[in-house]
Structure 1
Amino acid sequence: MSAFTAAEPAATTSDHISLYRAIWRWHFFAGLLVIPFLLNLAITGSIYLFKDQIADTFYAHRNIVADTGPMLPPQKIVDAALAAMPDATATSYREAAAGDRSAVVTVLKGGQSTLVYVNPHNGDVLGSVGSKEEFSWVVKRIHSLEYFGTWTNRIIEIVGGFALILVVTGIYLWWPRRQTGGVLTVRGTPSRRVFWRDLHAVTGAVAGIVIFFLALSGMPWSGYWGANVNAWLTSNDLGYPASLWDDVPKSTKVTQDVVNRPGWIVENAPVPLSGVAAASKSIGLDKAVEIARGLGIAAGFSMALPSDETGVFTASIFPKDLSKERTVHIDQYSGRPLVDLSFDQYPAFGKAIEWGINVHQGQEWGLFNQLLMLATCIAIVLSCVTAVVMWWKRRPAGRLGVPPMPPQRSVYIGLWLIAIAFGAAFPLTGLAVVAMLLADQSVIRFVPPLKRFFS
């Protein structure tokens, strides 16, 4: 009996050391792979948070006008934009949100989409920019790496999953184990490694929950996971209410094909068709805008124009105030609203995702939300920098300095189970984790030069 009880603490200690080392090693590998991408996400995310303020400062000449009273009818504003872009076709009109804001007309010419900014009071064209050259569009695409192609966007999806892993494993490594320093205080000076270790740990512990939220709420935009989750929600009546389309003919287009900035929940919702009858005549843009306003859609909405005889007018707005989010498809001949979808019609799960996205973008609670997300982005940058400095100070000369493998290799069984479970939730990240574990347990472990370099 005494031998049994004496051995138990030793075994427990050994198990804890093995688990700690395994998680430390996993945390190290995950950080090594994603630090450059996390820095990009944090820096571009910080810029995107203040996109409106930046745009109004640097592009005030095309965004802001003098409020001189009544505004021109929408069609006259579109005509002014087309006069400045000969041979172009108008695809959408965004009304001025207030008397001191410009209206924006999107035109298509030679396969290229251009935003034309027009003074809504007198029809003066204030400037234009390619849709894919507009400031917030470029920043957002660099943020997601979609700017550089589909495969780079998939990398960001993997990085988002790894960020979740880093937070969870980082909290485990930080968790107090009898030590007093490095929990909420930073020991030493910048010349010592312990200073950078504590700064890294404390920063991650304080900001970890919000970093986890940022990573998770950013996943809906990912190309693979986001698209599949959106489809699953819709098929299970947890996304947009598909029943609204039961009694209307549907086209092969979806909302993101006709709306510049659709809400995530409705981006794949089908666009209905207008009913074409003999001698049918379109109600025109002015009447469509009047109908949308009569339905109570918030000021500053966009109106997508019909692209052919079966197309519809689509009024949409996705403002900072989620309660005003709305999409209305209007028959271009009868003026009848075919589908009228607002935020309060979303199922609870759909509302939660849209709310998470809104907070992620710093739009839910005004300036406070922006500053909270900015502080989190700064925490991510600080975590990346401290991780690199901490590694640099501890690495052996000429080697990578990966934390040692755990004394008991059996602990990797648990990590494999975690990898499988995580892979089921986030497939691309799960595959990356499996590849990382396979490389660690086979290639690095049994190839002497690599084993020495990584040690």
Structure 2
Amino acid sequence: MTAASTRRWPGYATVWRWHFYAGLFCLPFVLWLSLTGAAYLFRPQVEALIDRPYAHVAGPGPRASAAAQVDAALAAVPGSVLHRYQLPDTPAQAVQVIVGVHGRETRVYVHPQTLAVLKTVGEQDRLMRIVFRLHGELLAGNVGSYVVELAASWTIVMILTGLFLWWPRGGGIAGVVYPRLGAGGRRFWRDLHGVTGFWVSAMALLLLLSGLPWAKSWGSYLKAVRTVAEGSAVRQDWTIGAAAGPGTRAMEGAHAEHGGMAMEHPRISYAPLDRLIASVAPLRLAGPVLIAPPAGPGQPWTAKSDAADRPLRTDLELDADGHILSRKDFATRRLVDRLVGYGVALHEGALYGWLNQLVNLLTALGLMLLTVSGVVLWWRRRPEGVLGAPHRRPRPALAWGLVAVIVALGVLLPLFGATLIAVLLAERLALARLPGTRRWLGLATS
């Protein structure tokens, strides 16, 4: 192989083609994920607004026991058992009790004094839970999770190739750090696209990478690698695929999910609840705080801070008398769990309060602008009768740097690697026999 036929890095035209085809697939998903992700950022505010009618229902006077409140919730959902009791934030607030029947969970709002049932709603039917599923699985279960993960993997490729194309090659900072708004025409749209991509790329990559542990393929991949590395079954504080997200599982640990369905608890006396609440409430755990009954005979009760800001979470095990048997804080977890916890909190806009929400929102808006400007650029330069892909060189030089990057991405992002192989095989075996299609797709050499 001659030196002329090899090089360290690919040329501009080659990377542009990669960027084009990655964008062709990714842009609709980038727009969708940005819209749904931006909406989900404000889950705390939206859920507080939805629950406002139940925030000030109790007045002065005695309250019913927690066991009686649970019994009222169970009566509202025949055949159910207690999954979780959520400690109210204030004495005036309605008590929220999560009960389950054969894996389907229902949240019941109970008046803490009169025991009147104020509202019932399925956990999967809550507004922000639907938004979460729209964002993470397109309301299509594990199939949707695979599609979203595939789009995220190729979006990472699109961002990396976009940064290569943006990289300054001489001249000033105009069109590099800020767009030339008065340029007009194609230069205006190219500046808007490139500069926006530069400013949002770092945060966009963080959001994409932090969402992968939830995805069906990548999450299972990580769990399998950890199981081999650690030599034992791995318990994680997040779930994978269609089961992912809040409100879909019982307590972690002894109450870990089975097949994505919340574990059914045996019917027991709930009389210890008041003693447990008396032990847990003074600890001031980050809310919401959930108490769950034993998963089986001889098992402890569990209490958990289910805070969206995951570094604030704490898990407790208690006996029926309210004595704390064990406590597990976020800082005591394995490094991988802590890294994912920080990433999830960052992804959901909970890690550093409203500022995290603002940065994520600006990133989502930037990705929407990237999508629109990318489509405009493509449409303005697209020749009549073809897709408009950048021209392919007759004999592109082999770039070992690109090969190394692709192999690394294929290992780290298995769905990207698998689909890339599938696309290359389709081009070699099928599209080679369809010259018209090859010309339209831009696969024929110029």
TM-score by length of 2: 0.83
Distance 1:91 1:299 in 2: 17
Deviations 1:250-273 (A, max 9, x none): xxx999699984899x9875559x
> Which fold has the larger relative contact order, with Cα–Cα distance below 8 Å and residues 6 or more apart in sequence?
2
Q: Is the 8 A contact 1:238 1:350 kept in 2?
A: no
Distance 1:256 1:219 in 2: 11
Change (3 A) 1:239 1:441: same
Instruction: Give the 5 Å matches for 1:404-443.
Output: 404-406=391-393, 408-411=395-398, 414-440=401-427, 443=430
Q: Is the 8 A contact 2:57 2:94 kept in 1?
A: no
Q: Is the 8 A contact 2:83 2:293 kept in 1?
A: yes
Change (3 A) 1:235 1:100: farther
Amino acid across the alignment from 1:141: R
Deviations 1:366-386 (A, max 9, x none): 111101100001111111111
Instruction: Give the 5 Å matches for 1:41-440.
Output: 41-62=33-54, 64-66=55-57, 68-69=59-60, 71-109=63-101, 112-145=104-137, 147-180=139-172, 181-187=174-180, 192-233=185-226, 236=229, 261=246, 269=253, 271=255, 284-293=272-281, 297-298=285-286, 300-332=288-320, 337-406=324-393, 408-411=395-398, 414-440=401-427
Distance 1:296 1:109 in 2: 31
Q: 2:19 aligns with which of 27, 32, 37?
A: 27
Distance 1:32 1:210 in 2: 22
Deviations 1:389-409 (A, max 9, x none): 111111111210111124542
Q: Is the 8 A contact 2:58 2:112 kept in 1?
A: no
**1:81 offset after TM fit, Å?**
1.8
Distance 1:268 1:81 in 2: 22
Distance 1:71 1:259 in 2: 35
Deviations 1:298-357 (A, max 9, x none): 45411122354355422111214445301223345x756454321121233432221121
**1:222 offset after TM fit, Å?**
0.9
**1:426 offset after TM fit, Å?**
1.4
TM-score by length of 1: 0.81
Deviations 1:61-90 (A, max 9, x none): 24x224635654321221222343344332
Distance 1:165 1:352 in 2: 23
Change (3 A) 1:380 1:357: same
3-state SS in 2 of match to 1:147: coil
3-state SS in 2 of match to 1:319: coil
Change (3 A) 1:171 1:445: farther
Q: Is the 8 A contact 1:18 1:406 kept in 2?
A: no
**Identity of aligned pairs, percent?**
30
Q: Is the 8 A contact 2:86 2:291 kept in 1?
A: yes
Residue-pair matches, total: 425
3-state SS in 2 of match to 1:224: helix
Q: Is the 8 A contact 2:214 2:239 kept in 1?
A: no
3-state SS in 2 of match to 1:399: coil
Deviates more, 1:139-148 or 1:113-122: 113-122
3-state SS in 2 of match to 1:132: helix
Distance 1:318 1:239 in 2: 26
**1:165 offset after TM fit, Å?**
1.3
What value does the CA root-mean-square deviation take over the aligned residues?
A: 3.7
**1:134 offset after TM fit, Å?**
0.8
